[in-house]
Structure 1
Amino acid sequence: MKDGVTVRRLFLILCLIPTLAQAGVYTWVDDKGRTHFGDRPPAESNSEPVEVTPPPPDADNLANERRQRMNEFLDSQQDERQSRQAAKAEADQQAAKEAELCRKLQARLKHMASISTFYNLNEQGERVYVSEEENDRIRERFRTKVQETCG
């Protein structure tokens, strides 16, 4: 018996759904002159039913197309943002390498100031000291290199 009652109730609910979905819309003007809309007309004022027409089927397709275009736009914006971030990270890494190189070159330049004279090694592995003018040229070339590299 319970199954029969449950089936009847379910059938009754299914029959009522279309009428609930097509509930009317009413409009009325209150005593202050404001227009109102609602699904139930008020008892104390005159109301008029408003005909509500569903959107045409093409509206869903247009909405889907707009949504798809918006998603494509957002995806392209995300891709551009990621590529800018990658380029910035690469530029930051390159700047860090250049800063480290400058630090090392400046440290070598400072060390060169403490060296009184430079030498070369000959074929026998012996030291051959360079002249004072050559010392000055070596220091000046290195100073120019540091200036060009580090700014």
Structure 2
Amino acid sequence: MKGLLIFLCFLVTPITQAGTYRWVDENGQTHFGDRPPANAASDEVELKAPAPSSDADARARKERMNEFLEQTEQERAERNEAKAQQEAKAAKHEAMCESLRARLKYIKSVSGIYRLNNDGERVFVDDEENERIRQEFRTKVQNECGA
């Protein structure tokens, strides 16, 4: 059994160390492959493992890339939060304007405007005051909400 295992290891080793071949086609382009082509001359190319110092460089690049991605994600989250706040503010403003416009429409439709006195009784204002209140409210709606 042990001998069979050693024999299999020797068979697998050449397969895992298959060569890399380089050849030039009829158009002058260089190609690489794990098998030599049948219709062209090829050279076996020896591939070398990267030097240990380049592994440290690769780790440093990967770390910088991860930092960049984290920073980008944080900036994106901040932009999305700011956008959501701006949309909420705009929605709140639009709701306020809708309410003001509805009140303006109501004020235009009533014949007289009244105030409550200290006893809680209605006291209707005269026509001049009535028109002044309506004009002030129209101005307020225009200033807050535009046309």
User: What's the TM-score, normalizing by structure 2?
Assistant: 0.77
1:112-137 CA-partner distances (Å, limit 9, x unpaired): 01222222222223322222211111
Residue in structure 1 matched with residue 90 of structure 2 by the alignment: 95
> Residues 64 and 137 of structure 1: is their aligned pair in 2 closer, same or farther, counting only changes over 3 Å?
same
> Residues 62 and 147 of structure 1: is their aligned pair in 2 closer, same or farther, counting only changes over 3 Å?
same
Within the candidate set 114, 131, 138, 2:109 is matched to 114
Q: Which amino acid aligns with 2:95?
A: E
Counting aligned pairs with the same residue, the percent is: 49
1:56-85 CA-partner distances (Å, limit 9, x unpaired): 011122112212221221222222222212
User: What's the TM-score, normalizing by structure 1?
Assistant: 0.75
Q: How far apart, in 2, do the equivalents of 1:146 and 1:42 lie?
A: 82
Q: How far apart, in 1, do the equivalents of 2:39 and 2:20 lie?
A: 17
Q: Say how many residue pairs are matched.
A: 145
The alignment yields a C-alpha RMSD, in angstroms, of 2.8
Q: How far apart, in 2, do the equivalents of 1:117 and 1:142 lie?
A: 14
> Residues 17 and 59 of structure 1: is their aligned pair in 2 closer, same or farther, counting only changes over 3 Å?
farther
1:125 aligns with 2:147: no
SS at structure 1 position matched to 2:115: strand
Q: Which amino acid aligns with 2:63?
A: Q
Q: Where does structure 2 lack aligned partners over 5 or more consecutive residues?
A: none
How far did 1:49 drift? 4.4
1:67-109 CA-partner distances (Å, limit 9, x unpaired): 2221221222222222212211221111111111111101110
Q: How far apart, in 2, do the equivalents of 1:26 and 1:11 lie?
A: 29
1:137 aligns with 2:132: yes
Q: Where does structure 1 lack aligned partners over 5 or more consecutive residues?
A: none
Q: How far apart, in 2, do the equivalents of 1:36 and 1:127 lie?
A: 96
